[in-house]
Amino acid sequence: MLSDLQGEVYVTTLRKCLSCILLLSASAWAQNSEQPVLALTREHLVKSAKIYFRDSTEFPLTQNMTFTVTDSAGHVREVKHQATDYLFNGYNPSRKKAVGNLRGKESFWALLRGSKMIKAAINSTFWTMMPGVWIYADPAEYIFEAQNPHNGIVSAKLMPVKSCSPLTMEKNPQTYFPDEVCGPGVFELHDDLSFHKFAFDASGLPVAIKTASLGNTTLQSYHAEVEFRKVILPGDKEPFLVPKQVMARLETNKGNIVISSLYEARKSKQ
C-alpha cells in the first residue's frame, strides 16, 4: 500500500507525464499541419506523363464492356455485355500508330459494321485516348486550376479557354461519343505523382439528341472517367499505366445510358 505522501507524489508525477504527452502531441500535430501540401502544377502533369504515359510497345488487354439503359424512374430497361480483345498502344495522340485497336474473330471493320455493342465498346476505346489529348495539348488552350488535396489525392482541373459549342453526336451516334470533346477535364494523382483517374464533364448542354436506346431525348449531362492501373512492360523496369476501368454516363430527360468497361491483361496463348 502507498503512503499518503507516496500517493501524492505518484499523482503529481502522473499529471506531469500526461501534460508532457499532451504537449508533445500538440506539437506534433502543429508540425504536421504546417507541412506544405503539394499544389499540383502543369509541370507535375507533364513530369508524370513522361514517366507513366511514355510510349510503349503494344500491350494486350481484354475489354469487358457493360451497356446499361435505365428509364427516367431508374428502372433498368436494357443490359448488354461485350467481351473484346483490346490492343493498347499508349496515350500520345501525336503518334502515327493507332492508340488502341479492338480485335475479334472477324476483322475490325466487319465487327464495326455488324455489331451495335462493338460500336458502343469503341466509346471506351476513345476515352482511353483522352487523357493524352489533355496532357499533350497546347497549354494556351486550357486554364489550369489546382484543386484542394483530398485523402492523399492531388488534382487539377483543365478548363478550355474558348467557350464550347453545343454538343453533337451525329458523326458516330452508335459510339455515344461527342463529335467534339469540349469541357473541363480533371486529373487525380497519388502522392508519387502517378495518375489515379481522369474525369471529364461535357459543356454545351443541354442539347437535343437521338439515340437508338432512348429515341429523341434531351442530353442533360455527359460524364466520363478513366481509372488507371500500373503494369510492368516486358524488358522495362519502370511501371506504365494502362486503363483499369472506363465509364461514360449520359443523363437525359428520358433516362440514362452507362457504358462501362473493365480491362484485364490478356494472357498470351500457348
pLDDT in tens, 191-236: 888 999 999 999 999 999 999 889 999 999 999 999 999 988 777 7
Q: Which residue has the higher pLDDT, 165 or 113?
A: 165
What confidence tier does 38 reach under pLDDT thresholds 50, 70, 90?
low
- Cell readout for 114 is 455488324
Which range of 73-77, 81-85, 151-155 scores highest in mean pLDDT? It is 73-77
Cell 499529471: give the residue.
Answer: 15
Whether a cis peptide bond, with omega within 30° of 0, leads into 131 is no
Is residue 91's pLDDT more than 60?
A: yes
**Based on the number of CB atoms within 10 Å of its own CB, is 229 exposed (0-12), middle (13-18) or buried (19 or more)?**
middle
DSSP 54-93: -----EEEEEEEEEEEEETTS-EEEEEEEEEEEEE--S-T
Q: Which residue has the higher pLDDT, 172 or 244?
A: 244
Question: What does the pLDDT look like over 144-196, one tens digit per residue?
Answer: 998 878 888 999 999 999 999 999 999 889 999 999 999 999 999 998 889 99
**Residues 6+ positions from 65 with CB-CB distance below 8 Å:** 81, 82, 83, 84, 117, 120, 121, 124, 259, 260, 261
% of residues, the chain, pLDDT over 70: 75
25, 60 Cβ separation under 8 angstroms: no
Is residue 56's pLDDT more than 70?
A: no
Is residue 33's pLDDT more than 60?
A: no
CA-to-CA distance for 144 and 84, rounded, in angstroms? 36
Is residue 108's pLDDT more than 80?
A: no
What confidence tier does 35 reach under pLDDT thresholds 50, 70, 90?
very low
pLDDT, average across residues 125-131? 91
Domain range list for the chain = 1-35, 42-265
Q: Which residue has the higher pLDDT, 111 or 85?
A: 85
Q: Which residue has the higher pLDDT, 14 or 249?
A: 249
Is residue 10's pLDDT more than 70?
A: no
Is residue 267's pLDDT more than 80?
A: no
Q: Which residue has the higher pLDDT, 129 or 112?
A: 129
Is residue 27's pLDDT more than 60?
A: no
pLDDT, average across residues 242-262? 97
